[in-house]
Amino acid sequence: MAAPSLATLWREQAADDLERGKTPLVVDSHVIPPGTQFGVNLYALHHNEKYFPDAFTFNPDRWLTDSSDTQYRAFAPFVARPRSCAGRAMSYLEVSLAMAKTLWYFDFRRAAGPLGEVGQGTKGVETGFGNVDEFQILDMFNANHEGPYLVFRPRGDHCDELD
């Protein structure tokens, strides 16, 4: 729900593409003239109900269904194609290992009191930060945020293995 970069990734069809026999760029039945910059904001794409039903709800199970691959094709946290992040594979590996060990060794919950609310939206705010249950992302070239603050507690008998 919070990709590393949520900025709009601009593209432009070369002005001489039509002269070289390439077809015009068509987006949603609109012809985009060569030389015109266009882009898709990744936050908007990742929260589009067409690709991700109930898009503002944290639901990891959405990836376990046998649905079409549309949501997989729309999910682009590391951008795509020539401008894709060079560290994507390493990032997936590192995050998978860190998450697996964290979830294996610890139970966690939100911190109590005001610290547990850091990073959430404010009810009634109309500036895009009004979704209380959505972790708020401040868009820059790279994403930035505050929180969440979590409290971890070692689990059961295998806590000695942490050393």
Domain boundaries in the chain?
A: 1-85, 106-157
pLDDT for 161: 54
Residue written as token pair 């060794």: 105
Q: What predicted TM-score, i.e. pTM, was given to this entire model?
A: 0.55
User: How far apart are alpha carbons 135 and 64 in whole angstroms?
Assistant: 22
User: How far apart are alpha carbons 2 and 70 in whole angstroms?
Assistant: 19
pLDDT for 85: 78
Residues of the chain under the 70 pLDDT cut:
1-2, 4-6, 66-68, 83, 138-144, 157-163
pLDDT for 10: 80
> Token digits for 26?
């068509």
85 marked as part of a ligand binding site: yes
User: How far apart are alpha carbons 40 and 81 in whole angstroms?
Assistant: 14
Radius of gyration of the chain (CA): 20
> Token digits for 15?
């002005």
Query: Residue 73: which residues within 8 A CB-CB, separation 6 or more?
Result: none
User: How far apart are alpha carbons 146 and 114 in whole angstroms?
Assistant: 13
> Token digits for 133?
């249950």
How many of the other CB atoms lie within 10 Å of CB of 6? Answer: 23
